């Protein structure tokens, strides 16, 4: 990643700076979205921008000062060309912008927009067939900033969870994801993913009241399942519910739907889910999801 865009200006990453008076730096007042491209085009961009816009209104950031979807598409295309990328992992950050030292009472009228892009990570050859483990962490999901969690710049809780997961050499070797429960002991979400499971033909995922970030991919998967006539439920579940599931999968904007084929307890006990490979509902929903992308994907050997 050699070139980035700040407020629409493309520059070398080494020359890009944000003021120490930016309230994103001082108080974590800012939001970001991560998405990927298919065929060089950003996928579900309007949905990402809708979530970001709603979050900006909550934080008091003037959205009229931000690029619209058309402008952002042009910025993404420009940045990808500048970095020689055919496909990209894209991060769009909106920080509150410069203001006086101290907590503000009014709106932020001069937000800072930062656009970054890098190559898509190369998935393991068996990721979409034999999946990955999910390890239960001791780190609890903190309560959200307001009624619904924002994809905000204060990411400490996720980083602490990542450090806990990284302290387990076996979890690292297996490329496991970490699972956080909320303060009440209910399943919330992964470090960088939402969690789904299926039991007796019904798709289940934690309710937003469990403190999770309502992911863009999560939302689309719920829509696709409903359209396909698959029963869906958002509720309050435990680790034991996951251990008794027929199949489990994770959703992210970068990796789509990833099967979970084993669970790792804090003491290291491993439970195999299903037959240790992608389950039938996960398979169906992954294929339906990929149809939405316009057919641009490389991992269709399920």
- Report residue 280 CA to chain centroid gap: 24
Mention every residue, 6+ apart, whose C-beta is less than 8 A from residue 35: 42, 43, 44, 45, 48, 90, 92, 216, 253, 254
Q: How far apart are CA 57 and CA 286, in angstroms?
A: 33
Helices and strands (H, E) in the chain, number of each type = 9, 15
Q: Smallest Cα–Cα separation from 202: which of 239, 228, 176?
A: 228
The tens place of each residue's pLDDT in the chain, 302 residues long, gives: 699 999 999 999 999 999 999 999 999 999 999 999 999 999 999 999 999 999 999 999 999 989 999 999 999 999 999 999 999 999 999 999 999 999 988 999 999 999 999 999 999 999 999 999 999 999 999 999 888 999 999 999 999 999 999 999 999 999 999 999 999 999 999 999 999 999 999 999 999 999 999 999 999 999 999 999 999 999 999 999 999 999 999 999 999 999 999 999 999 999 999 999 999 999 999 999 999 998 666 555 55
- DSSP conformational letter for 273: -
- Distance of CA 267 to CAs 10, 174, 207, Å? 49, 16, 27
Mention every residue, 6+ apart, whose C-beta is less than 8 A from residue 166: 172
User: 0.85 cut: is pTM over it?
Assistant: yes
Q: Could you report how far apart the first and last alpha carbons of the chain are, in Å?
A: 31
Q: How far apart are CA 116 and CA 90, in angstroms?
A: 6
**CB distance 113 to 66 below 8 Å:** yes
Mention every residue, 6+ apart, whose C-beta is less than 8 A from residue 33: 48, 49, 51, 52, 91, 92, 151
**CB distance 123 to 108 below 8 Å:** no
**CB distance 18 to 24 below 8 Å:** yes
Chain position carrying tokens 């402008």: 71
Report phi then psi at 175, rounded to 5.
Answer: 55, 40
Whole-number pLDDT of residue 296: 62
The encoded tokens of residue 141 equal 């999901």
């Amino acid at each position: 990643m050699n070139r980035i865009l700040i407020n629409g200006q493309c520059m070398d990453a080494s020359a890009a700076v944000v003021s120490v008076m930016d309230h994103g730096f001082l108080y974590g007042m800012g939001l970001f979205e991560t998405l990927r491209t298919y065929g060089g085009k950003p996928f579900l961009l309007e949905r990402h921008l809708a979530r970001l816009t709603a979050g900006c209104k909550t934080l008091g950031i003037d959205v009229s000062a931000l690029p619209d979807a058309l402008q952002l598409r042009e910025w993404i295309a420009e940045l990808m060309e500048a970095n020689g990328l055919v496909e990209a992992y894209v991060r769009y950050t909106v920080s509150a912008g410069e203001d006086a030292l101290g907590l503000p009472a009014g709106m932020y009228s001069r937000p800072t927009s930062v656009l970054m892009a890098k190559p898509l990570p190369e998935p393991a050859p068996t990721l979409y067939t034999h999946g990955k483990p999910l390890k239960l962490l001791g780190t609890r999901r903190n309560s959200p900033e307001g009624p619904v969690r924002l994809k905000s710049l204060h990411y400490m809780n996720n980083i602490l969870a990542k450090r806990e997961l990284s302290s387990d050499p076996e979890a690292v070797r297996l490329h496991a994801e970490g699972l956080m429960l909320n303060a009440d002991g209910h399943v919330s979400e992964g470090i960088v993913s939402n969690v789904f499971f299926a039991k007796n033909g019904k798709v289940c995922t934690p309710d937003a009241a469990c403190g999770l970030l309502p992911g863009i991919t999560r939302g689309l998967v719920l829509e696709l399942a409903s359209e396909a006539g698959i029963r869906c439920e958002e509720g309050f579940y435990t680790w034991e519910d996951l251990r008794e599931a027929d199949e489990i999968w994770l959703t992210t904007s970068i990796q789509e739907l990833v099967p979970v084929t084993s669970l790792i307890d804090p003491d290291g006990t491993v439970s195999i889910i299903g037959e240790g490979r992608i389950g039938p509902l996960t398979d169906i929903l992954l294929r339906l999801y990929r149809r939405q992308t316009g057919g641009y994907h490389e991992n269709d050997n399920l």
